[in-house]
Amino acid sequence: MASTYFEPPGPRVLAHRGFAVDAPENTLLAFEKAVAIGVQYIETDVHVSRDETAVVAHDPSLQRVAGRDITVAQLAMAELGRVDLGRGQGFCSLEEALDAFPETRFNIDVKVERAVEPVVSAVKRTGAESRVLLTSFSERRRLRLASLVPGVATSAGSAGVIRARVAAFAGPQARLVRALRGAGALQIPERSGGVRLVTARFVAAVQRAGSEVHVWTVNDRADMTRLLDLGIDGLVTDRADLAFEVISARS
């Protein structure tokens, strides 16, 4: 199934863990709040439960979000659904989220290797192959996901980003295309380790090679404007409302 994730052209607003300034992060309510303000792209994260279900969660532990010293992997999905995350919300499965928002595109960061097959199963069972982007900081995991869901959109892992940056400044465009290894996007911070990753030259090189540049996590209006001026394709943000205002003011 051909991916439609990158259609039409950006700039794209990717709601980081849903609209988490108005609901507990990575919950169905956070996703509902995002969709209600016009979000088409939700950035989210997946771990795996004790019973091999793909669970929407950023952290391996429940400590930060629920004050419990236990991990997602130690609980079954039914137990995770009963965890109090606030506002009447518990953890949801990836399949629940994809089913609940059938018109929404999901950017899914697969946090652990054990989650790969549950994520693939959830995507296929819901027929969501064309509207998801699968990614991981592990480039090996990203390539495995791409092999299991033919045609799915992906963004490069950390090693892929490094290869792309070197190739963009050290050779012909064909070298950058090879470095991207089919990744439709680079999703990167503006800076890493004191090095500025996002420059107009780098963005243009990636785009000429047929991929997009999305920057995380951008919550300041002035930063959004400056990055859009550099030509980026997407903003990963906790403040989708502000991002829409910034983009609207430019049109």
Residues involved in catalysis? 16, 58
Distance CA 161, CA 164 (A): 5
DSSP 105-127: EEEEEE-SGGGHHHHHHHHHHTT
**Phi/psi class of residue 192: alpha, beta or left (left: φ > 0; alpha: ψ in -120 to 50)?**
beta
Please tell me the number of Cα atoms within 13 Å of 87 on its side-chain side. Answer: 15
Tokens of 124: 């296929």
Say what the alpha-carbon torsion angle 144, 145, 150, 155 is, to the nearest 10 degrees.
Answer: -110
Distance CA 122, CA 118 (A): 6
Tokens of 84: 């109090």
Beta pairing class for 12-16 and 234-237: parallel
**Cβ contacts of 182 within 8 Å, gap of 6 or more:** 146, 154
Tokens of 93: 């499965």
Q: What angle do CA 140, 95, 71 make, to 5 degrees?
A: 65
